[in-house]
Amino acid sequence: MKEKTDHPLHQEIAKIAVLSPNASRLLEINSKPDHSLNDIIQLVKFDAALTAKTLRIVNSAAFNLLQPINSIDRAISFLGERMIVGMVIAESAGEVFQKGLPGYESYPGDLWRHDLFTAFASREVAKYAKEELEKELAFTAGLLHDIGKFVISSHLEGTAEKAVKVIDSGEASDYLNAEVQFSGHHHAELGFELAKHWKLPEAIQEVIRYHHEPSKALECYKPLVYAVHLGDILAMMSGHATGSDALQYHLDGAYEDYYVISPVELTKIIADTETQFRPALTSLDNSQEN
């Protein structure tokens, strides 16, 4: 199916491989508010490679199980929906996440680590929403929020030093603004174009587009967009950034309209995120090498 868009980088974005059918189906299930873990189990069960990989991950040293898990149902229950999403995205879109980002002076794997931390952090933040929020969707949206950096990186090569200079001098308000000054685009906008190319669920498209400007998001998606806005910031604060743009963005204080988080709770979010992030990173990295 041909997608029409007027975006100047359309042809470049159209060349990026689309997600696998299973990855698309998984994201579709994940974005439905009334889905259950059983829907995920059914999807994995009918894919032999995915089943094998899930069992390998759950029994990897990172999870330190006393007894091996041999049933796929139990494996998915143990790992949770988020790990299946992480595994499928890593496999289906590895090209996007694992390459270095020379435009940000960042190394191969940095984007994946940043996104995985953001995913866990967004999920933890979602627990503090004033109104019930789908936490697994916050994870997925966190994982995908920065896909635009893959697209824009080559257009920003050689600009990192200039970018921090214009931010320091006040000529650019933040890194997003600096990206526009040097390339005519910013990573959230290009991420949105890639999200459309990948036919991602609308909620995730909205997160990708507005994760640095959450107040511009559609009202119905704002709690989700703010979760990832905060998750992204927590990743940068925790040292999981993508090079030259680390901490060069604004916190939108209006998150308080949707979240109640005390100072102590925020430190708990960081500690809990770090605890979940480490084994996930190790087991997913190992599963990609196998």
Interface positions with other proteins (CB under 8 A) = 104-106, 160-161, 163-164, 174, 233, 236-241, 243-244, 246-253, 261-264, 266-268, 270-272, 274-275
DSSP state of 17: P
* Cβ nearer to other proteins, comparing 210 with 249: 249
Look-up of token digits 């069960």 = 45
Smallest gap from residue 264 Cβ to other proteins (A): 6
Smallest gap from residue 179 Cβ to other proteins (A): 13
DSSP state of 104: G
DSSP state of 19: P
- Least Cα distance to 242 among 181, 160, 177, 119 occurs for 160
- Least Cα distance to 254 among 203, 208, 204, 214 occurs for 214
Smallest gap from residue 234 Cβ to other proteins (A): 9
Smallest gap from residue 46 Cβ to other proteins (A): 37
| Largest pairwise CA distance in the chain | 58
* Cβ nearer to other proteins, comparing 48 with 251: 251
Amino acid at 246: A
Q: Is 247 left (phi over 0), alpha (psi -120 to 50) or beta?
A: left
* Cβ nearer to other proteins, comparing 54 with 273: 273
* Cβ nearer to other proteins, comparing 68 with 263: 263
Look-up of token digits 């149902």 = 73
Determine the Cα–Cα distance for residues 155 and 178; give it in Å rounded to an integer.
Answer: 12
Q: How many CB atoms lie within 10 A of CB 8?
A: 10
What secondary structure does DSSP assign to 30-66, as a single string? HT-TT--HHHHHHHHHT-HHHHHHHHHHHTSGGG--S
* Cβ nearer to other proteins, comparing 33 with 263: 263
Q: Using N-to-C axis directions, what is the helix angle for 202-210 and 135-144, rounded to 10°?
A: 50
* Cβ nearer to other proteins, comparing 77 with 238: 238
* Cβ nearer to other proteins, comparing 172 with 284: 172
Smallest gap from residue 187 Cβ to other proteins (A): 16
SS3 259: strand
Smallest gap from residue 227 Cβ to other proteins (A): 15
* Cβ nearer to other proteins, comparing 39 with 272: 272
Smallest gap from residue 219 Cβ to other proteins (A): 22
Q: Kindly state the tokens that stand for 178.
A: 């600096």
Smallest gap from residue 172 Cβ to other proteins (A): 11
